[in-house]
Structure 1
Amino acid sequence: MSTSKPAPSRRSALAVLAGVAAGGSLPFAVAPSANAAASANAATPSGTAAAPSGTAATSAGTTVPMAPGGKLPMVADPSDPWHFTAHPSGALTTRVLSGTPACLEVSDGTGVLATLTTGAKTVTVRGPKRWFTEQKKPFADGFARTTTTGWGTSPGGGTWTRHNGVAGDYFLESGRAVVNLTASNASRHVFLSDQLVGDFDAAARFSFDKVPTGAPVSLALSFGVRDVDNHYRARLEVTPAKDVRLVLEKELADVSGTLSPAVTVGTGFAAFDHWWVQVEKSGPVIRARAWRDGTPTPDTWHHSVRDPEQQPDKVFTSGSLGVRALASQGATVPLEARIYDFVVTSADWADPPVVCHDTWVRVLPEPFDGTWTPALEQRVRAWAADTSPDALAYASMFRPHAPAVTDPALQGAQVLGASGYSETDDAGLRYVGADFHEYMGLAWTFPASGESTGTPEARWKGNLDCSGFVRMVYGHHMGIPMVLYKDYDGRNLPRTSKRQATNGPGTVVASGTDAPPSLTALRIGDVVFFDATTDPDDPEATAGVVDHTGIYVGQDQHGGLRFVSSRKTPNGPTMADLGAKSILNGAATDLYTKSLRVIRRF
């Protein structure tokens, strides 16, 4: 069945649904912490990247505002004085800003109210303050992939990197990860690339291919990892007497110490027996337990301790997660240490990205032609008091922990809610191809071009690739007309990031051929395009060709200019740094900083 673009009234209905899903009339309306609110009260965002006044953020160390027990990607403060004052305040005045592209700034009695760009539909409007943040989403790695070396990339948790030994000691085989212990007293480590994990709840399923002789062997769930010489670990040890023990340890500056002494958790170990190790870290408290696979999880923890260290730099409040394998001195080798599952049920970044400002991004029915009219004044006045979802709110509704929202007018299809990127292939790499209507599981007709699609494959449902995410936000929810593979007329929104950059709607703000363009004219809501990947088998991922896109959100608490995009390693839309930093002004070596090529204002 073909389905056309919802009418504006339907988007209004979705605004109500989003508010209901969040428990308030504002999308995700919850009160931020007092510290967070105080840090933003003096801000008067203009929507620009260059002006600090336009991108106020929480100060370092400030508690991130969250809904109770939640990790919602966007929060607003219903006690913000904005909600109790008139909007706009007094008469409106306008002035033309210098520079390119041409912009018209609209002000009321309290400052800049809106900015319109000649040739573009998007308009930045002052509204109540909002906080955009993100927390890590859970993932599970069952190692069901093939790699030529190492363990490859986990499905959403980052890339596994080995430390110590040779590459041949680490491999995947028949749905399990293996560390081949070939030398006595051989310590082998594999860590995930995400180094920012703070509190978490994780478990791993371990085994060995034989009962050790001569000395014990062990597998550990490592955490708070700074490097191989500095980390915590919950170590499952198997002795030649077939006893299974669990000990909680800390390695500091290459010196191992015991946080909690070994506890015998089982006897009679046999080759290929599977054991679970679970670790939970909550603030300074570390808990660990272990049990034989197929038996009930223990009701209590075998270890529950605090690190007694008083010096902050010697306490691992955050770090990577991983695995450590050891054949103790005197153990008979070789033998295989096997990992069958690595499951992170929940995890928080210790320093998540936070963007705070009062800029909202709205869309005109037609591009601004440079003339300020009574009709435009009426529209801007209406937007000044509008708290229905804007482009940034919709973009947030596909990031981790966003609630699901369905649309009765689209056969009950899910139209909002945390999205993935795609399924993985046999090598654990993610397919490209999930467009906005495929996320919803619907066939689609594009009135602008007359193109139609069939019912999408089930594997795309609930997923969005990078250009599909931009189309979902600016096309489906904000109303910019879309096409598939024809009628690239500069008004419609094409399917691919390459075509969006060269033939998309609106106007080019800045561009560079072989280097990043200037960020001077960048404004919140701009669409950013990158030449980020090289793949000889993919013409859309070759040097010199735009192959990735996202939406600029604003400046974070550390000064980073953050964008949100759907990416393979985090498995879906993100404004965080798993796999690569989602910032435009980072170090010259940062992937997205160095590969930015086009900034377009729709």
Structure 2
Amino acid sequence: MPKSKGRPVLHAATVLALLAGSAYFTVELRKDAEAKVPAVQSVTDKPDLENSAGKATGKQTWERLNNPTRSVLRGKDGEILATFTDGARTATLRGPSRTFTEPANTQSRVVTEDWVRLMPEAWRKGAEKEKWFKDWFKQYYGSEEDDIFAFAFQYVQGAPVKKDDEGVPYAGDAVFGPFKEDGVDRLEQNDFYDYLGMNYTFRDGTTMQARKERYRALDCSGFMRMVWGYRARYPLMATNTIGDGLPRSADGMARSKVGVDIIKLSGPSPWYTRPKNIDVVQPGDLLFFKMDHRTGNHLDHVALYLGVDTDGHRVFISSRKEVNGPTMGDKGGASRIDGNGFYAGLLRSAKRL
């Protein structure tokens, strides 16, 4: 973890997080095939080709695909082992199967062989021949070290507290934010340093002050900054305008030049247009929504796409007011981007970091 100023003060929320382990999600490594589980999702150029294998060659092969421009590594039987998108550091690797659940808030189950990781450099055509990639791939392909998905589920309801070498709790049950004075709505703008309870100095030298009343709180974009930035080491801006890297807000992230726009924002403001086709999204993509008329032209919610659950729905995890924290839950609307549900109707764009 990076060096920061100040130390958090443990309080009752930490104790409660430790006691809530019974509601914590389960991550199971599957030892044998599960016939009822959908095959690993892979992104292809045509929806009807999803989950299909290429031609068996008896050896691993590289293939270039479009929409978005990317390289895929196929196995000996033609199955997709990894996907790398031009201009993005996000890699989706095939690995041991895991099951993500959150029984406290939903019956949805995601069984996936996708492991989402950050590469040290953005992908480019021919990078498979470069030393930096060969070294990185050798280390992480097949590795069960925590990835983006594992990080994300370490903040859902009942997640146990994890501490760094200095005793600072960096993971565990997070809330969305404290109540406003009206006792109904919750305060937003809760970033990762608020959750940590310590002041944080960014790469450009800007120091942001943690607010004690927001300790253990992450709003939707703060949750993404915790997972991708503080945990996975993606560069972070101090605000939407100061520094370089991933901006502070959902709207800032959506409109930023970082990463690759997989589904571009379109249509007239302030509500824009729901995408007609979402087949291009892959596990690990950031999803952006327009939900509140009070935010003007801004997109106001961001989520992490997980893939297809065992019911066949495309689901995500995000920090939400209704559940009061990170969730893939159903309260306030199912966390789905397919069909005609609440969030599906408000999806506006997607980005791959």
Shared fold per TM-score greater than 0.5: yes
Q: Secondary structure at the match of 1:558?
A: coil
2:69 maps to 1:102? yes
Structure 2 Cα separation of the partners of residues 46 and 380 of structure 1: 19
2:262 maps to amino acid: V
Is the 8 Å Cα contact of residues 45 and 126 (structure 1) preserved in structure 2?
no
Q: Report the counterpart of residue 291 of structure 1 in structure 2.
A: none
| Alpha-carbon spacing, 1:412–1:497, altered in 2? closer, same or farther (3 Å) | same
Displacement of 1:367 in angstroms is 1.1
Q: Report the counterpart of residue 218 of structure 2 in structure 1.
A: 464
Could you list the per-position Cα deviations for residues 372-404 of structure 1 after superposition, in whole angstroms to 9, with x for gaps in the alignment? Answer: 323223422332221101101111111122221
Q: Report the counterpart of residue 322 of structure 2 in structure 1.
A: 569
2:301 maps to amino acid: H
Match of 1:591 among 342, 345, 348: 342
Structure 1 Cα separation of the partners of residues 246 and 160 of structure 2: 27
Displacement of 1:92 in angstroms is 3.5
Q: Report the counterpart of residue 423 of structure 1 in structure 2.
A: 178
Could you list the per-position Cα deviations for residues 189-230 of structure 1 after superposition, in whole angstroms to 9, with x for gaps in the alignment? Answer: xxxxxxxxxxxxxxxxxxxxxxxxxxxxxxxxxxxxxxxxxx
Is the 8 Å Cα contact of residues 96 and 104 (structure 1) preserved in structure 2?
yes
2:136 maps to 1:382? no
Match of 1:552 among 285, 305, 325: 305
2:333 maps to amino acid: A
Quick check: which has more Rg, 1 or 2?
Answer: 1
Is the 8 Å Cα contact of residues 114 and 380 (structure 1) preserved in structure 2?
no
Q: Report the counterpart of residue 401 of structure 1 in structure 2.
A: 158
Match of 2:34 among 34, 37, 40: 37
Q: Secondary structure at the match of 1:464?
A: coil
2:259 maps to 1:516? no
1:255-270 aligned at under 5 Å gives the runs none
Task: State the TM-score, normalizing by the size of structure 1.
Answer: 0.49
Match of 1:113 among 78, 81, 90: 81
Q: Secondary structure at the match of 1:402?
A: coil
Displacement of 1:585 in angstroms is 0.8
Structure 2 Cα separation of the partners of residues 29 and 569 of structure 1: 24
Structure 2 Cα separation of the partners of residues 45 and 354 of structure 1: 15
2:333 maps to 1:580? yes
Could you list the per-position Cα deviations for residues 251-282 of structure 1 after superposition, in whole angstroms to 9, with x for gaps in the alignment? Answer: xxxxxxxxxxxxxxxxxxxxxxxxxxxxxxxx
Name the % identity. Answer: 30
Displacement of 1:44 in angstroms is 4.0
Aligned length: 319
Structure 2 Cα separation of the partners of residues 402 and 47 of structure 1: 31
Q: Secondary structure at the match of 2:326?
A: strand
| Alpha-carbon spacing, 1:356–1:548, altered in 2? closer, same or farther (3 Å) | same
Structure 2 Cα separation of the partners of residues 464 and 487 of structure 1: 20
Structure 1 Cα separation of the partners of residues 116 and 26 of structure 2: 17
Q: Report the counterpart of residue 433 of structure 1 in structure 2.
A: 189
Structure 2 Cα separation of the partners of residues 559 and 586 of structure 1: 11
Displacement of 1:370 in angstroms is 2.2
2:164 maps to amino acid: D
| Alpha-carbon spacing, 1:4–1:392, altered in 2? closer, same or farther (3 Å) | same
2:98 maps to 1:130? yes
Structure 1 Cα separation of the partners of residues 312 and 26 of structure 2: 25
Could you list the per-position Cα deviations for residues 78-128 of structure 1 after superposition, in whole angstroms to 9, with x for gaps in the alignment? Answer: xxxxxxxxxxxx853211013x22010012325211110001000000000
Structure 2 Cα separation of the partners of residues 407 and 367 of structure 1: 28
2:199 maps to 1:443? yes
Q: Report the counterpart of residue 10 of structure 2 in structure 1.
A: none
Q: Report the counterpart of residue 228 of structure 2 in structure 1.
A: 474
Is the 8 Å Cα contact of residues 47 and 524 (structure 1) preserved in structure 2?
no
Structure 2 Cα separation of the partners of residues 52 and 396 of structure 1: 30
Displacement of 1:369 in angstroms is 2.1
1:435 maps to amino acid: D
Q: Report the counterpart of residue 177 of structure 1 in structure 2.
A: none
Structure 1 Cα separation of the partners of residues 88 and 36 of structure 2: 33
Q: Secondary structure at the match of 1:569?
A: coil
Displacement of 1:52 in angstroms is 8.5
| Alpha-carbon spacing, 1:554–1:44, altered in 2? closer, same or farther (3 Å) | closer
Could you list the per-position Cα deviations for residues 279-318 of structure 1 after superposition, in whole angstroms to 9, with x for gaps in the alignment? Answer: xxxxxxxxxxxxxxxxxxxxxxxxxxxxxxxxxxxxxxxx
1:328-407 aligned at under 5 Å gives the runs 352-372=107-127, 373-375=129-131, 376-407=133-164
Is the 8 Å Cα contact of residues 26 and 100 (structure 2) preserved in structure 1?
no
2:351 maps to amino acid: R
Is the 8 Å Cα contact of residues 466 and 567 (structure 1) preserved in structure 2?
yes
Structure 1 Cα separation of the partners of residues 159 and 228 of structure 2: 18
Give 5+ residue unaligned stretches, structure 2: 6-20, 53-57
1:493-508 aligned at under 5 Å gives the runs 493-503=246-256, 505-508=258-261
Is the 8 Å Cα contact of residues 438 and 461 (structure 1) preserved in structure 2?
yes
Structure 2 Cα separation of the partners of residues 470 and 54 of structure 1: 28
1:43 maps to amino acid: A
Structure 2 Cα separation of the partners of residues 33 and 387 of structure 1: 14
Structure 1 Cα separation of the partners of residues 343 and 214 of structure 2: 26
Is the 8 Å Cα contact of residues 4 and 446 (structure 1) preserved in structure 2?
no
| Alpha-carbon spacing, 1:423–1:29, altered in 2? closer, same or farther (3 Å) | closer
Task: State the TM-score, normalizing by the size of structure 2.
Answer: 0.82
Q: Secondary structure at the match of 2:115?
A: strand
1:444 maps to amino acid: Y
2:284 maps to amino acid: G
Q: Report the counterpart of residue 55 of structure 2 in structure 1.
A: none
Structure 1 Cα separation of the partners of residues 257 and 212 of structure 2: 29
1:458 maps to amino acid: K
Could you list the per-position Cα deviations for residues 538-571 of structure 1 after superposition, in whole angstroms to 9, with x for gaps in the alignment? Answer: xxx22x3201101000111222110111011110
Give 5+ residue unaligned stretches, structure 1: 6-21, 56-89, 138-348, 536-540
Structure 2 Cα separation of the partners of residues 3 and 378 of structure 1: 27
Structure 2 Cα separation of the partners of residues 355 and 406 of structure 1: 27
